[in-house]
């Protein structure tokens, strides 16, 4: 079947890194997720990604440091205090140190993300950053994913050794969460001004979200000085009002990520680091959730995922790369 000519024009502009408007992205997302237009978008975005990261994948390990009933009360989150029965937990300092050391074994966990609930205080977050910095392989980039932060908090984070932060205005912010949208944007601005590299996002996307919801949310932060943007589907959580909608299909997710990749291909984000790929993060970054008991298997699976995804090099902590082949997988115990 012939490709819609208007869609072909817009996809071509995205491929050649010409500017696409929010309206252009909305137009492209109105096509069904398995249509010829969607398939072409996915193919073009995939090629742009592979070119931009030179076929190099990277692993970013995520560690939950502080969890428990969270006053953020986001309507889609299993930690919201209005519905969870879980207790407060904070990772043990010794366990965090051991985990950080273990992740450095083959120097191919390029970054570590420390995730904490909104109630975690800044001193605790900074202490965790310090522990990881002292124990991880030298050069490992440390990111934090926290609640909202003032400018002083951001400076403290930077001084403690954090390289960057993950922060996004979520879909339905202020309506499905108890956090005003302005507060989330203000935090991003504070993080950027303090010199931290910011990974923003469009999240958590469910099947019920309209193209307007998704594209408008993406364009909110596109010019805020963030280094990259991650597109994340919502995980169904029993007991939430969103559970009835289920999960976004993989094909719709691929289409959304591809269109936003093409829609921002013109954008030169600050803080771009070697082999980072496009502004919208693609399959080149794998983010395994790690604990002391599972991290070996999770990192091994992450290496295999990059290999299976066609990445033939892997980024190391010092920004060099290694060939990602069967020999590497065997050497690292990943097969
Ligand atoms: S702020 Fe984060 S941890 Fe807290 S309820 Fe919202 S999504 Fe969950």
Ordered structural domains, the chain, with CATH: 48-331 (3.20.20.70)
Prediction pTM value = 0.96
Helix, strand, coil percentages in the chain from 3-state DSSP, rounded to 5: 40, 15, 45
- Two tokens, residue 169: 């205005």
Residue 293 above 90 pLDDT? yes
For residues 257 and 45, the answer to whether their CB atoms sit within 8 Å is yes
Name the pLDDT band for 273 (thresholds 50, 70, 90). Answer: confident
Supply the pLDDT for residue 234: 97
For residues 63 and 290, the answer to whether their CB atoms sit within 8 Å is yes
- Two tokens, residue 111: 């970054």
Residue 274 above 90 pLDDT? no
Question: What is the 73 CA–ligand 1 centroid distance (Å)?
Answer: 6
- Two tokens, residue 327: 């020999």
Task: Calculate the average pLDDT of the chain.
Answer: 96
Question: What is the 296 CA–ligand 1 centroid distance (Å)?
Answer: 27
For residues 101 and 136, the answer to whether their CB atoms sit within 8 Å is yes
DSSP 8-state assignment for residue 107: S
- Two tokens, residue 8: 């072909």
Name the pLDDT band for 71 (thresholds 50, 70, 90). Answer: confident
Question: What is the 100 CA–ligand 1 centroid distance (Å)?
Answer: 24
Supply the pLDDT for residue 23: 98
- Two tokens, residue 87: 């207790």
Supply the pLDDT for residue 16: 98
Q: Taking Cα atoms as reference points, which of 164, 143, 138, 196 lies closest to residue 316? A: 138
Q: Taking Cα atoms as reference points, which of 220, 200, 198, 216 lies closest to residue 270? A: 198
Supply the pLDDT for residue 176: 94
For residues 58 and 315, the answer to whether their CB atoms sit within 8 Å is yes
- Two tokens, residue 121: 């205080």
What share of the chain in percent tops pLDDT 70?
Answer: 100
Q: Taking Cα atoms as reference points, which of 58, 54, 32, 56 lies closest to residue 254? A: 32
Supply the pLDDT for residue 317: 97
Angle of helix 151-160 relative to helix 181-193, nearest 10 degrees, comes to 40
Q: Which of 65, 67, 68, 70 to mutate to test the pocket of ligand 1 (most atoms within 8 A of CB)?
A: 70
d(CA 18, CA 263): 9
Nearest CA to ligand 1 atom 3: 117
Residue 86 above 90 pLDDT? no
Across the range 17-28, mean pLDDT stands at: 98
Helix (H) or strand (E) holding 150: none
Residues 89-140: tens digit of each pLDDT: 999 999 999 999 999 999 999 999 999 987 889 999 999 999 999 999 999 9
Across the range 166-183, mean pLDDT stands at: 96
What is the DSSP code string of 271-328? Answer: T--TT--SSB--TTEE--B--TTTHHHHHHHHHHHHHHTT--EEE-TTS-EEE-SHHH
Question: What is the 188 CA–ligand 1 centroid distance (Å)?
Answer: 16
Closest atom of ligand 1 to CA, residue 80: 5
Residue 87 above 90 pLDDT? no
Give the residues surrounding ligand 1 with Cβ less than 6 Å away. 70, 72-74, 77, 79-80, 117-118, 147, 177
Residues 180-201: tens digit of each pLDDT: 999 999 999 999 999 999 999 9
DSSP 8-state assignment for residue 17: T
Residues whose CB falls within 8 Å of the CB of residue 197, separated by 6 or more in sequence, listed in order: 141, 143, 163, 164, 165, 227, 271, 273
Question: What is the 14 CA–ligand 1 centroid distance (Å)?
Answer: 34
- Two tokens, residue 194: 């303090």
For residues 108 and 316, the answer to whether their CB atoms sit within 8 Å is yes
Name the pLDDT band for 84 (thresholds 50, 70, 90). Answer: confident
């Amino acid at each position: 079947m012939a490709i819609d000519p208007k869609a072909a024009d817009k996809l071509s502009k995205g491929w050649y890194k010409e500017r696409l408007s929010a309206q252009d992205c909305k137009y492209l997302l109105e096509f069904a997720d398995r249509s010829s237009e969607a398939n072409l978008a996915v193919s073009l975005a995939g090629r742009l990604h592979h070119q931009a990261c030179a076929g190099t994948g990277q692993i970013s390990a995520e560690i939950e440091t502080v969890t428990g009933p969270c006053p953020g009360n986001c309507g889609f989150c299993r930690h919201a205090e209005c519905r969870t029965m879980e207790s407060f937990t904070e990772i043990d300092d010794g366990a965090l140190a051991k985990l950080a050391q273990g992740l450095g074994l083959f120097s191919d966990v390029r970054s570590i993300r420390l995730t904490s609930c909104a109630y975690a205080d800044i001193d605790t977050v900074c202490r965790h950053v310090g522990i990881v910095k002292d124990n991880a392989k030298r050069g490992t980039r440390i990111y934090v994913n926290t609640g909202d932060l003032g400018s002083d908090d951001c400076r403290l984070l930077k001084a403690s050794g954090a390289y960057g932060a993950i922060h996004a205005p979520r879909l339905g912010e202020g309506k499905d969460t108890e956090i005003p949208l302005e507060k989330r944007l203000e935090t991003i601005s504070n993080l950027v001004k303090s010199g931290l590299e910011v990974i923003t996002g469009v999240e958590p996307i469910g099947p019920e979200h309209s193209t307007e919801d998704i594209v408008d949310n993406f364009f909110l932060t596109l010019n805020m000085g963030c280094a990259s943007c991650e597109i994340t589907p919502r995980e169904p959580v029993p007991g939430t009002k969103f559970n009835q909608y289920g999960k976004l299909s993989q094909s719709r997710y691929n289409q959304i990520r591809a269109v936003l990749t093409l829609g921002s291909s013109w954008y030169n984000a600050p803080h771009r680091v070697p082999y980072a790929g496009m502004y919208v993060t693609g399959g080149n970054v794998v983010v395994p959730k790690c604990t002391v008991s599972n991290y070996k298997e999770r990192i091994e699976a992450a290496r295999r995922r990059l290999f299976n995804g066609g990445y033939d090099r892997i980024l190391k902590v010092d920004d060099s790369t290694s060939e990602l082949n069967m020999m590497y997988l065997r050497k690292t115990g990943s097969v």
